Structure 1
Amino acid sequence: MRLPARTTTVVVLASLVTLVLGYVNKARCAGPPFSNLGRSLKFEALKNVDVCYSDIQYLWIGRDIDNHVFPFLHGGITASGSLFGGTVEYPVLSGLLMWLGGIGSHTDAAFLLHSAIIMAPFGLLTAWLLGRIAGWRALWWSLSPALVLFAFHNWDLPAVATTVAAAFVMLRGPGTLRTRGMIAAALLAVGACLKLYPGLFVLPVALAVLWGPVARHAGPEPGEHDAGTPDRAWRSGALDVRGALATVGVAAAIAVAINLPFAVLGFRGWLASFAFQSKRTADITTNSLWYWGLRPLIGDDGTYNVVVSVASPVLVVASFALALWIGVRIAHRTGTYPWLQVSAAMLCGFLLLHKVHSPQYVLWLLPFFVLLRVPWPLVAGYLTANTALGIGLFRYYAALGTDPDAARRWEYAVWFGVWGQVAILAVLFAVFLRSAPARGATSRSFRFPARRTQFPETPDNRTTVS
């Protein structure tokens, strides 16, 4: 169904206003006077108290951005875990964006402004695509408090845009499902070179391509009783194994092509970005269930870090496998692999169980609130918990060591934010897998799960989705 152009226009304009507010919020920490390194002197004084901290402004110093060093080629990591020589802790395309934002910048305020100018179009593109797909539901993105708090907290908007663009191609793109799957996989590979998480969704997309022929033959024959299991599909359509392998192959080729020049020309610096993340511990800055749940139980010694370093990746991978397996079960029943639902569930598993859960990761989840029919209390509850964490965390940092009573009060807000997100993510893992696409977010190959009927279906009464 074609959505009115005015709906998309309103969604984009609302996003523009929210992005401007997001920049203004972060810019409160930036501006003269500056140190001899171009650091705003008020940054340290205001970043936590006024909740205007951003990684963008913080990393102006310490990653050679202020020296305009091209990323990764001359860098590395020290034995203590500090990066140097232009290496940053993000994939290569984010490193390029950081370098571009630093060109012509001589202060952290200019770097913040230039970075916002670079990233804002990606936020607007996300709004436009979501508006085209889901209409007014896209306001969950455009009017979200998370966009004010975190749009320019880190370099997340470009990765979010590539993920939504991949969904748009799958749902509304031209050509066959195999063609759309390969294009979407290419976009997700680009996203993985910005932030790793879009790469998670390549497998669900490939499985959707694999089941494509089954979906085309999954409907019951005229006069055939439909009990919810499309056995005829298995007799009528073979799985598209070549298409699925090609989808994964395209993603791998794009990722290799983007990373290879950096790996060849500066292997030590390129590898250091991965080493930095692997060495990161689940400390007070990670906002994870591990720090706030496991650490109080077993203490903050070496055992805690060893347990987390093993348990977190194992459980994350297990959650991925569970989501993918449930998707296969659904595909057996419906004839269509629910790639969008499985992708959302996999992201929930990652956010729930990974050792690091930065509050700006809410931007990764927001598009799925738009694309899938999730009960609004869950969405509102998650955004409330995230806002409490995003504000309470920095006020908590500000009070630590200076005002124990205030620190205790703000710690309650952090607890509410962390455990509120944990609880809702656990529920969302199941809810996403059972949810239907939002109106307008149904691809041509998607069929809703068949229901038991008391009478044979005919071509005249059979429900189809265009």
Structure 2
Amino acid sequence: MTHVHPTRDDGVVTALSEVVGGPMGDHAAPHRWWTPTRVLLLLTALVFAAGLVQKAPCSLAEGHDQNWTYSHMCYTDLKPLYVPRGLAEHAWPYSDDEQTRARYKVMEYPVGIAYWAWGTAWVTHWLNGSPDVSARYKQPVEDLYGDPEVQDEESIFLLVNAVGFAALALLAVWLLAGVHRARPWDAAAFALSPALLLTGLINWDLLAVALVAGALWAWSRERPVLTGVLIGLGTAAKLYPLFLLGAVLVICLRRRRPGRFVVTALWAVVAWVVANAPAYLSGPEQWHVFWSFNAERKADLGSLWLVLDQAGDLAISAHTVNVWSWALFGAWCLGVFAIGMTAGRRAAGIDRVPRLAQLGYLIVVGFLLVNKVYSPQYVLWLLPLAVLARPRWRDQLVWQACEVFYFCTVWWYLGGYLAPTGGGDAGFYWVGIVVRVLGELYLAAVIVRDLYRPDHDPVALERVETVGAGSLSR
């Protein structure tokens, strides 16, 4: 065997393998064509196809109100944003044209997502026969919603994005399978993830997820420049990849290579600036909307701040949430830094430096715990980090079960199904939020345990046999 087989490495998989004859034998020969990576790609394709089927009722059914969409848990942002963000006219997201800005809101996402949406809108128009968008420019926006041609384009737009997201998911799995060459099956928890199935098509988050997977792969190959570029591009799509630089800093300090952190951080800044330049130069006011939108946002969906605000009837201001969330996140990061600098030192005669995925998960989960919003698809932010940080199916299932429970409660909440008959706040939704938080904290606690007691970490145990120049920092 050229790699660790899950039926011999993971207790859950070992037990399940009894159905098909038990764990892989000592003298079993691998299949010539069905390599682990190819199997993982097939599994990812099947899971993503199932996710498309899960979203199909909301995409194909007509004549249903918004609550019907929530009750079927198949909501996606893609079709609802096609007209109101100017994509039906293929308007540049950062256009400062007065009529365009009077007709449409600016995309409230980072530039990477805005570029992707604009590009897929172009593909949509091309597939639909390149309609005359100038004629639409002369119509009232309200008329576009009932235009049969535009309605067809909304479905095409969703499918074009779905194909793109599927490619991103496949790319992410391929990259994750290559981070630890002896453990490609660790990526199976991503490929078979219920979180990927349920949330992969809600929004454009998979773009950042694939870039984070690429950064993990590049770092495992000792390529700080490529790592920085991918982190910078990921930050241009979502803010959270930026936090990986904190994990890189700890690893570089532990390995006494601060220069590598400087190189990684520098290239991350360069990539982010280059990615943002077209948007900023074409419309600085429109570019700033993402930042102002998030600064003005109050305690919102899925956050502990929402629980606190509703339970205490506090009417917490956006400024208060901003100050306290960043202060708490800063304190959390200091705690992760202390853990990263003290864990695993000279265990069994080897300085086991924490892995990028381990520290990355701890930092990103801290941000999500204190952030003022937790949309259902934010679980994808943690997914590539979690599956490599703690490659054990038991812990993955515990954590993802909590996320799936939250996924259900958020749609019930939005649909009004959790509202008490006598009025008041939907307290059961608070339960869903708390369960999600507990699941994330559980996985964080197990990862911290692994850092201080490497004998519990399957990756650390494997690497003891193959200590190399870069094998202790992946």
TM range (shorter): 0.7 to 0.9
> Deviation of residue 444 (structure 1)?
4.0
Which structure's relative contact order is higher, taking Cα pairs within 8 Å and 6+ residues apart? Answer: 1
Matched to 2:227, the amino acid is A
> Which of 272, 289, 292 is the aligned partner of 1:255?
272
Match of 2:361 in 1: 344
State whether residues 77 and 203 of structure 2, in contact with CA within 8 Å, keep that contact through their aligned partners in structure 1. yes
State whether residues 358 and 386 of structure 2, in contact with CA within 8 Å, keep that contact through their aligned partners in structure 1. no
Match of 2:293 in 1: 276
> Which of 312, 317, 321 is the aligned partner of 1:308?
321
C-alpha distance 208-153 of structure 1, shift in aligned 2 (>3 A)? same
1:29 aligns with 2:58: yes
Query: 1:352-371 maps to which residues of 2 (within 5 A)?
Result: 352-371=369-388
Query: 1:183-202 maps to which residues of 2 (within 5 A)?
Result: 183-202=226-245
Query: 1:148-187 maps to which residues of 2 (within 5 A)?
Result: 148-171=197-220, 173=221, 177=222, 180-187=223-230
State whether residues 298 and 317 of structure 2, in contact with CA within 8 Å, keep that contact through their aligned partners in structure 1. no
Q: Deviations over 1:137-160 (max 9, x none)?
A: 322111121112101001011211
Match of 1:87 in 2: 106
> What is the SS of the residue equivalent to 1:59?
helix
> Deviation of residue 54 (structure 1)?
0.9
Match of 1:98 in 2: 117
> Which of 106, 109, 125 is the aligned partner of 2:155?
109
Q: Give me the whole-angstrom Cα distance separating, in 2, the residues matched to 1:325 and 1:75.
A: 50
State whether residues 182 and 250 of structure 1, in contact with CA within 8 Å, keep that contact through their aligned partners in structure 2. yes
Q: Give me the whole-angstrom Cα distance separating, in 2, the residues matched to 1:304 and 1:377.
A: 40
Match of 1:11 in 2: 40
> Deviation of residue 191 (structure 1)?
0.8
Which stretch has the larger CA shift, 183-192 or 67-76? 67-76
Q: Give me the whole-angstrom Cα distance separating, in 2, the residues matched to 1:415 and 1:15.
A: 32
C-alpha distance 114-330 of structure 1, shift in aligned 2 (>3 A)? same
C-alpha distance 322-137 of structure 1, shift in aligned 2 (>3 A)? same
Q: Give me the whole-angstrom Cα distance separating, in 1, the residues matched to 2:376 and 2:407.
A: 6
State whether residues 65 and 102 of structure 1, in contact with CA within 8 Å, keep that contact through their aligned partners in structure 2. yes
> Deviation of residue 439 (structure 1)?
4.0
| Higher relative helix content | 2
Gaps of at least 5 residues in structure 1 are 34-40, 77-81, 213-238, 449-464
Matched to 1:322, the amino acid is G
> What is the SS of the residue equivalent to 1:28?
helix
Query: 1:219-298 maps to which residues of 2 (within 5 A)?
Result: 239-283=256-300, 286-297=301-312
> Which of 366, 383, 390 is the aligned partner of 2:407?
390
State whether residues 327 and 339 of structure 1, in contact with CA within 8 Å, keep that contact through their aligned partners in structure 2. no
State whether residues 75 and 87 of structure 1, in contact with CA within 8 Å, keep that contact through their aligned partners in structure 2. no
C-alpha distance 385-424 of structure 1, shift in aligned 2 (>3 A)? closer
Matched to 2:197, the amino acid is V
C-alpha distance 32-357 of structure 1, shift in aligned 2 (>3 A)? closer
Matched to 1:53, the amino acid is Y
Q: Give me the whole-angstrom Cα distance separating, in 2, the residues matched to 1:241 and 1:314.
A: 26
> What is the SS of the residue equivalent to 1:9?
helix
1:140 aligns with 2:157: no
> Deviation of residue 84 (structure 1)?
6.8
> Deviation of residue 110 (structure 1)?
1.7
Q: Give me the whole-angstrom Cα distance separating, in 2, the residues matched to 1:444 and 1:411.
A: 52
Q: CA RMSD in A?
A: 3.1
> What is the SS of the residue equivalent to 2:35?
helix
> Deviation of residue 331 (structure 1)?
7.2
C-alpha distance 372-71 of structure 1, shift in aligned 2 (>3 A)? same
> Which of 50, 55, 72 is the aligned partner of 2:72?
50
Match of 1:38 in 2: none
Q: Deviations over 1:314-358 (max 9, x none)?
A: 111221222123212237653735433211100110111111111
C-alpha distance 129-339 of structure 1, shift in aligned 2 (>3 A)? closer
Q: Give me the whole-angstrom Cα distance separating, in 1, the residues matched to 2:55 and 2:436.
A: 24
> What is the SS of the residue equivalent to 1:89?
coil
C-alpha distance 379-260 of structure 1, shift in aligned 2 (>3 A)? same
> Which of 170, 173, 192 is the aligned partner of 1:124?
170
Q: Deviations over 1:100-128 (max 9, x none)?
A: 22222533222211111122101011122
Q: Deviations over 1:383-415 (max 9, x none)?
A: 1121122122212322359x7459999863x33
C-alpha distance 210-102 of structure 1, shift in aligned 2 (>3 A)? same
Query: 1:365-380 maps to which residues of 2 (within 5 A)?
Result: 365-373=382-390, 376-380=393-397
C-alpha distance 375-70 of structure 1, shift in aligned 2 (>3 A)? same
State whether residues 358 and 388 of structure 2, in contact with CA within 8 Å, keep that contact through their aligned partners in structure 1. no
Matched to 1:167, the amino acid is L
State TM-score, norm by structure 1.
0.77
C-alpha distance 404-410 of structure 1, shift in aligned 2 (>3 A)? closer
Percent sequence identity over aligned pairs: 27
Q: Give me the whole-angstrom Cα distance separating, in 2, the residues matched to 1:247 and 1:373.
A: 25
Gaps of at least 5 residues in structure 2 are 4-29, 126-149
Q: Give me the whole-angstrom Cα distance separating, in 1, the residues matched to 2:319 and 2:216.
A: 37
Q: Deviations over 1:179-199 (max 9, x none)?
A: x12211111111111111111
